[in-house]
C-alpha cells in the first residue's frame, strides 16, 4: 500500500502546496486508488499523480474547504469530460461510472451549494439538470465506528475533536498493513484508537505550543507526538502545517514525546507500507525512517511543504 502526499498545506493553499489531499494505492494487478480529502487547489497536482477517471473512491474527513472544496472541480471534470461522460446529462444512464464519495452526513448538499447558487435549480440548459451532483458522485455517509470496503482496502472512521463533524480514517490493506490519517483534530481518545499500532500515522500539527492556545481545533507537534506514542504507532508523518509556522519547531515538539521515526510531509513524497518501518520514496532519494532519521530543518512552512516535482501519472 502506497501513500502519496498531494497537498500538505495547513488550513489554506500555501505558496508551495495545495491544501489537504493524499492518495492511497494498492499494488494488485487491478489497484485500488483512494483519495483522502480534496482540498483547495489539490485537483491540479492530483491529476499529475493519477488518472482521476480511475479513482476507486474519495473519502472526506470533514467539510471545511481546505479538505473538500476541489470536489466541485472534480465534479465538472467527471460530468463533462467526453472520456467520462457519454450522452445527455439529463439521462442518468449516460454516465459511465460514478465515483464513490464517503463523507460526513450533509456533504452532498454542502458541495451542491458550493457549485450551484440554489440546489435544485441547475444554471445550465433545462435538458441538463443535475441538481445534486449525483450524476458524477455516489455519496455514502460516514459516522463514528463505520467501516467501508473499497476494493481491497477497509476504511474505518473515528469521530475526533474539531469544531465541525470530523473523522480520523484508518485504512487497512489486504495484507494487514495500516495507515491512519488524523484529518483535523485535537488530542482525544478516538484519535489514539484510530492510530493504534498503525504502520504509518499521517497526523496534522497545525498549532505550535505556547503560541496557539485554543483547544478543540488542531494538534500541536507535542500533542501529535503524544498521540502517536500513546497509540504505539510505528512511524509518524506530520502534515497540515501552515505557512507561518516553523516546521522544525513542530517536529522538535513531536520528537520530545514520540520515540519513533518522524518525518514532515511534502508534496510528491510517498511511502510504501508493507513492512515495518515503512519505506519513504521521494522524487530524489529513498529513506528508511528507522535507520536514516534526519535532523530537524530550520525551514519555515512554505519550504517544508515544497518539492520541485510531482509523481508522473502512470496509472490509467
Cβ pair 246, 232 in contact under 8 A: no
Q: Quick one: 309 exposed, middle or buried, by C-beta within 10 A (0-12, 13-18, 19+)?
A: exposed
The residue with greater pLDDT, 281 or 65, is 65
So where are the chain's domains? 2-304
Give the residue-averaged pLDDT of 272-297: 46
Which pLDDT does position 98 carry in this prediction? 85
Which pLDDT does position 46 carry in this prediction? 97
Print burial letters for 210-236: b (CB count within 10 Å at least 16), e (below 16): eeeeeeeebbbbbbbbbbbbbbebbbb
Which pLDDT does position 76 carry in this prediction? 87
Instruction: List C-alpha distances in Å: 173 to 75, 167, 237, 305.
Output: 28, 19, 19, 27
Q: Which CATH entry fits the domain spanning 2-304: 1.10.10.10, 3.40.50.720, 3.60.15.10, 3.90.950.10?
A: 3.60.15.10
Q: In what order do the strands lie in the sheet with 200-204?
A: 147-150, 153-159, 167-172, 178-181, 200-204, 236-239, 262-264
**Beta strand segments in the chain, E:** 2-7, 21-25, 33-38, 57-59, 99-104, 137-142, 147-150, 153-159, 167-172, 178-181, 200-204, 236-239, 262-264, 270-272, 279-281, 286-287
Which pLDDT does position 277 carry in this prediction? 59
Whether a cis peptide bond, with omega within 30° of 0, leads into 179 is no
Which pLDDT does position 212 carry in this prediction? 80
Q: Which of 151-160, 222-231, 259-268, 289-298 has the lowest mean pLDDT?
A: 289-298
CA 162/CA 219 separation, integer angstroms: 10
pLDDT at 95 over 90: no
pLDDT tens column, 110-131 = 998 888 756 555 544 444 545 6
Give the residue-averaged pLDDT of 286-298: 33
The residue with greater pLDDT, 301 or 88, is 88
Give the residue-averaged pLDDT of 285-314: 37
pLDDT tens column, 150-161 = 999 999 999 999
pLDDT tens column, 160-201 = 999 999 999 999 999 999 999 999 998 999 999 999 999 999
Cβ pair 158, 189 in contact under 8 A: no
Cβ pair 20, 66 in contact under 8 A: yes
Q: Which of 1-15, 170-184, 226-240, 253-267 has the lowest mean pLDDT?
A: 1-15
Please identify which residue in the block is written with the cell numbers 508551495.
Answer: 16
Amino acid at each position: 500500500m502506497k501513500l502519496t502526499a498531494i497537498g500538505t498545506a495547513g488550513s489554506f493553499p500555501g505558496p508551495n502546496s495545495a491544501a489537504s489531499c493524499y492518495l492511497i494505492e494498492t499494488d494488485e494487478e487491478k489497484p485500488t486508488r483512494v483519495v483522502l480529502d480534496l482540498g483547495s487547489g489539490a485537483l491540479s497536482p492530483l491529476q499529475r499523480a493519477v488518472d482521476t477517471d480511475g479513482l476507486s473512491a474519495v473519502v472526506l474527513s470533514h467539510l471545511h474547504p481546505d479538505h473538500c472544496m476541489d470536489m466541485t472541480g472534480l465534479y465538472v471534470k467527471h460530468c463533462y469530460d467526453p472520456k467520462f461522460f457519454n450522452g445527455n446529462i439529463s439521462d442518468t444512464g449516460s454516465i459511465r461510472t460514478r465515483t464513490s464519495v464517503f463523507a460526513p452526513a450533509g456533504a452532498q448538499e454542502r458541495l451542491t451549494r458550493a457549485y450551484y447558487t440554489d440546489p435544485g435549480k441547475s444554471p445550465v440548459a433545462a435538458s441538463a439538470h443535475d441538481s445534486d451532483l449525483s450524476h458524477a458522485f455516489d455519496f455514502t455517509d460516514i459516522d463514528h465506528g463505520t467501516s467501508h470496503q473499497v476494493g481491497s482496502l477497509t476504511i474505518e472512521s473515528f469521530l475526533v475533536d474539531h469544531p465541525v463533524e470530523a473523522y480520523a480514517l484508518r485504512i487497512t490493506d489486504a495484507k494487514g498493513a495500516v495507515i491512519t490519517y488524523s484529518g483535523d483534530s485535537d488530542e482525544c481518545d478516538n484519535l489514539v484508537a484510530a492510530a493504534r499500532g498503525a504502520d504509518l500515522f499521517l497526523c496534522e500539527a497545525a498549532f505550535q505550543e505556547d503560541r496557539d492556545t485554543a483547544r478543540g481545533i488542531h494538534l500541536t507537534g507535542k500533542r501529535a507526538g503524544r498521540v502517536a506514542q500513546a497509540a504505539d504507532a510505528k512511524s509518524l508523518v506530520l502534515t497540515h502545517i501552515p505557512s507561518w509556522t516553523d516546521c522544525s519547531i513542530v517536529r522538535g515538539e513531536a520528537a520530545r514525546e514520540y520515540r519513533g521515526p518522524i518525518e514532515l510531509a511534502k508534496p510528491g513524497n510517498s511511502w510504501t507500507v508493507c513492512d515495518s518501518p515503512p519505506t519513504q520514496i521521494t522524487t530524489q532519494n529513498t529513506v528508511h525512517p528507522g535507520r536514516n532519521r534526519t535532523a530537524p530543518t530550520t525551514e519555515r512552512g512554505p519550504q517544508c511543504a515544497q518539492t520541485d516535482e510531482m509523481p508522473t501519472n502512470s496509472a490509467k
